[in-house]
Structure 1
Amino acid sequence: MKKMSRLEAVLWNIAFPGFSQLLTGHYLKGVLLVVLEFLMNVNSNFNQAIMYSFLGEIEKAEAVLNYQWLMFYPCVYLFSLWDGYRMAMPKEEKYSFLPFVFGAYFVTVGLMVSPKVTIFQTHPGPVFLPMMFLIPGLLIGFVIKYSLSRKIQNE
């Protein structure tokens, strides 16, 4: 079983959910995450929406997306990231899941409100708005993790 750093585990899963699990020998979990990612990606038309978004054709991105399938994506994606991170983190680290969980919550909310949100007369759409929502989700998760860790240290 390959040992990898937390950064390496997260970066492999950013590339494709399940990759760090496969690289560390957790084949069942890795294959399950790869299959889930593939099913959600294909059934939601996510790659086509990403392409249209990067080409500035936000309306086309919204038109091709199947939101019902895509709403599963943030939770599976961020679970895969956390699981890869968890396999590489020190045993004494606590609350590492919080930034990932809050990131998943916020990305899902960003996806749900994306058809209605305009920022400075720009409509970011269903790809870029959820990406922007990840930032406050991670920040809130890190603040809560830090607060809980400090509270336990002080007890």
Structure 2
Amino acid sequence: MRNVAALFSLLMPGFGQIYNGQFMKGVFFIIMEHFDNAFGHINEAIHLDFNGLHQQAVEAANFDYLLFYPGFYVYCVWDAWYHAKPNADKTKTAIPFIIGGFLGGMGAIFANRLPIPTLTVAMLMIIPMICGMIVFRDQ
């Protein structure tokens, strides 16, 4: 069930918390995600980037909000995954998620130098999270 909660949060930050029964936290995360997404123009950047307009995607993004998003996104996934298992070990399980948030933030900072910025930043966040979920699945 931990992976289901994490998958829901990968799809939309806050959905994993709602799946875990943490309704107020989930609604708060959904509101924060929408706020950051709207003011950071993240969906517009993704749309432009996936249509081959990479430089326009970087120009469309508002980095004041965009730089907050990777850490927030990774935290929401980790929180849903961690709280889905009672008495889970918090000390080690957060490490891959912290790495994913750091790499996502660095990817956002250097987005204008990346070939496909939004996809690259997404993979920089998602791959360490999935590796962490596999490695720490029993903890």
TM range, normalised to the smaller chain? 0.7 to 0.9
> Post-superposition, which runs of at least 4 consecutive aligned residues in structure 1 deviate over 6 A?
none
Q: Name the structure 1 match of 2:100.
A: 103
Identify which of 22, 45, 67 aligns with 1:49. 45
RMSD: 2.3
* 1:81 counterpart residue number: 77
Conserved 8 A contact 1:111-1:129: no
How many residue pairs get aligned? The number is 133
User: In the alignment, is residue 130 of structure 1 matched against residue 121 of structure 2?
Assistant: yes
Are the equivalent residues in 1 in contact too, given 2:58–2:111 (CA < 8 A)? Answer: no
1:89: how far off? Answer: 2.8
Closer/same/farther in 2, CA of residues 84 and 36 from structure 1, 3 Å limit: same
**2:55/2:112 contact within 8 Å kept:** no
Identity of aligned residues (%): 26
Give the CA deviation at 1:91. 2.2
SS of the aligned residue for 1:115 comes to: helix
Q: Is the 8 A contact 1:74 1:104 kept in 2?
A: yes
Unaligned runs of 5+ in 1: 118-122, 150-155
- Larger C-alpha radius of gyration, 1 or 2? 1
Question: TM-score with structure 1 length normalisation?
Answer: 0.76
TM-score (norm 2): 0.84
* Cα distance change on mapping 1:8 and 1:135 into 2, 3 Å: closer
Corresponding position: 1:24 with 2:28: no
Conserved? CA contact 1:44–1:69, under 8 Å? yes
Q: Which runs of 5 or more structure 2 residues have no equivalent in the other structure?
A: none
